Structure 1
Amino acid sequence: MALAGSIAAGTGASRSTWLGVLCGAGAGAFWGLVFLAPELVRAFSPLELTIGRYACYGAMSAVLLVPRWKTVRAHMSRAAWIALVWLALAGNTVYFILLANAVHIGGIAMTSIIVGFLPVTVTVVGSRDHGAVPLAKLAPSLLLCAAGVLCIGWQAIAAPGETSLANRVIGLACAFGALASWSAFAIGNSRWLARLDAVSAHDWNLLLGVVTGLQSLVLIPVALWQADAVRTSSQWSSFLIVSLAVALLASIAGNALWNRMSRLLPLTLVGQMILFETLFALIYALIWEHRLPTLFEVAAFVLLITAVLTCLAAHRKPAAADDLVPLGEGGAH
């Protein structure tokens, strides 16, 4: 009976962890679609795509939030609203603009390598939290993660480039800016979700969407000033469809899954879940380009998946002596 109680207790923890991992994988699957968006609407600039995506995200969020607005607002403090503003900037508006410009100037390979270190930065910061898994136990997972990210962009980095040194520096700065911006978002968002028990992860995502949508409207004059091309009605139709699809799948569904995961997993494990976005982006790229993965890409798949599994193993806790209680004694529901 004691053994059965121990297994039951362990199974409950395992279910919570695996549910968090599945939510993280689902978020990565939706977020990976974002990398296809620029290819589908090449007639539009990264800034215009940013505005389209987040304006749709904001509008959808506002509609979904209306029925619960009074209840949600009652639980929102002034500090929480301020947090939403900077989280929307760090995780959505500023991050996406920096990322798009880094890709445009420095290329996908360089950007993916630098931004791909998000799991490392978030995990290192999370390891300083009270009760977190020590960094030494996470070192194998972090090294595997770094090796996997390097494999993804190695071939393109090794190829001769035509970009000038000045542009490389600017692209590098944008990529590091995107890395810092989303790292700040992942850490801050996770901690605010833990602090606001009365606000659901879904409602928090909708509030974030409304704030991001308002921020995107401020960028419209800049986009109009930069616009120098006339688009056809079919191009505008494609732009609207892609913006709506990315807003619904990546921003609404993907963010909701990410927030759910952030409440189920510790920050040291949350960081590793970002790897799923990299994996799915690579899968979608292979499908889009109608080709099989190269040797380096296969190595990246293996290394990144192993990194997640290694991180999960590092978070496993042995059953404490106090947990070895028969099912019929204390704690049974």
Structure 2
Amino acid sequence: MSSNTILRGILFGALAGAAWGLVFLAPELTREFSPWQLSAGRYLAYGAFAALLIAPRLRSVASRLGAPEWWALVWLSLLGNVIYYVFLSSAVQLGGMAMTSLVIGFLPVAVTIIGSRGHGAVPIRKLAPSLALGLAGIACVAWQSLSAGRSAADSSQQIIGFFCALGALVSWTTYAVGNSRWLARLHDISAHDWSLLTGLVTGLLSVFVALPAFTLLLEPHSHAEWGRFFAVSAGVAIVASLFGNACWNKASRLLPLTMIGQMILFETLFALLYGFLWERRLPTLLETAAMVLVTASVLLCVSAHRVVDEGGGH
């Protein structure tokens, strides 16, 4: 693995994090709508845009996929998009942002630990300093959330919310590992086309979320609220889902699984930055420490891979 490949992979990972971080603004901009409706709106729009972009070559691309690839697209779309977002939204509603961010914050660690078991991967002991700094950064974010004075849910709701957050953690970890491995096998399909196919399948699956979300859960809204909802759904679909997922798939092909796990930290970093801009304030001491620790974690991870590469390990 050359230094140029690593740098390109980090760039695409950072771009994906920058795009995904915008997802956290969507609920703030559309507070009148439920997470189920936001999820359905986002992924219906994602599916529609993906279908338009891949339509001219869909027949050619589809002819290169067999039943295993289509089934992989179904379960990856379910785990990485639909199920993950439902679990995440439920965890936030029932257990609060502090608990959810603490659990979901282990995503980079979970992906990296699983990736360290792969053939030719950097040993986990060499990644220990990077993981320790990443955990320290996550702890700073969680502590900041816990000290924000948010009202606590009752015990039963917190327990259910905690398990929903665990479900989201397992769901996205499985997706990240599975998606990276499928991209490594697909030599005739570009990362961009794989992302568009994932969007197409996600859009079809989100119909099953949209039916109850816009019938049983629908409440009266003004024309201005509906306009904002459609604008946010389309914006998130284009920037976060289409652009962000395409960048992530590109990074997944350029970087080993142990390193791609660290790239997820960019989402937290950019989500914090967008939050500061939205609230028109500077970061606190803990938030500043978290950003420094996250950045140091990624740089140490890069260093660990370069050392192995220069030593001729793999």
Shift of 1:227: 2.2
> Which TM-score applies when normalising by structure 2?
0.96
Question: Aligned pair 1:62/2:51, yes or no?
Answer: yes
* 2:82 alignment counterpart: 93
Q: Cα–Cα, structure 1 residues 19 and 290, in superposed 2: closer, same or farther, change >3 Å?
A: same
* 1:102 alignment counterpart: 91
1:1-333 paired onto structure 2 within 5 Å: 13-158=2-147, 159=149, 161-316=151-306, 317=308, 319=310
Q: Secondary structure at the match of 2:119?
A: coil
Aligned residue pair count: 310
Q: Distance in 2 between matches of 1:134 and 1:249?
A: 35
Q: Distance in 2 between matches of 1:112 and 1:320?
A: 37
Q: Distance in 1 between matches of 2:293 and 2:253?
A: 26
Q: Is the 8 A contact 2:96 2:153 kept in 1?
A: no
Cα offsets for 1:142-172 (capped at 9, x unmatched): 1111110010020332447431111111111
Q: One-letter code of the match for 2:90?
A: N
Runs of at least 5 residues in structure 1 that lack an aligned partner in the other structure: 1-11, 322-333
Q: Which runs of 4+ in 1 moved over 6 A?
A: none
Q: Distance in 1 between matches of 2:80 and 2:257?
A: 16
Shift of 1:222: 1.5
Q: One-letter code of the match for 1:255?
A: N
Q: Is the 8 A contact 2:144 2:287 kept in 1?
A: no
Q: Secondary structure at the match of 2:26?
A: helix
Cα offsets for 1:93-147 (capped at 9, x unmatched): 0001111111122111211111111000000000000010000001111111111
Q: Cα–Cα, structure 1 residues 18 and 162, in superposed 2: closer, same or farther, change >3 Å?
A: same
Cα offsets for 1:48-89 (capped at 9, x unmatched): 000100000000011111111122011101000000000000
Shift of 1:224: 3.3
* 1:3 alignment counterpart: none
Cα offsets for 1:284-325 (capped at 9, x unmatched): 01111111111110110111100000101110135468xxxx
Q: Distance in 2 between matches of 1:274 and 1:182?
A: 11
Q: Secondary structure at the match of 1:315?
A: helix
Q: Is the 8 A contact 2:50 2:197 kept in 1?
A: yes
Q: Is the 8 A contact 2:9 2:255 kept in 1?
A: yes
Shift of 1:228: 4.9
Q: Cα–Cα, structure 1 residues 94 and 292, in superposed 2: closer, same or farther, change >3 Å?
A: same
Q: Cα–Cα, structure 1 residues 121 and 81, in superposed 2: closer, same or farther, change >3 Å?
A: same
Shift of 1:226: 3.2
Q: One-letter code of the match for 1:126?
A: G
Q: Secondary structure at the match of 2:214?
A: helix
> Which TM-score applies when normalising by structure 1?
0.91
Q: Distance in 1 between matches of 2:253 and 2:51?
A: 23
Runs of at least 5 residues in structure 2 that lack an aligned partner in the other structure: none
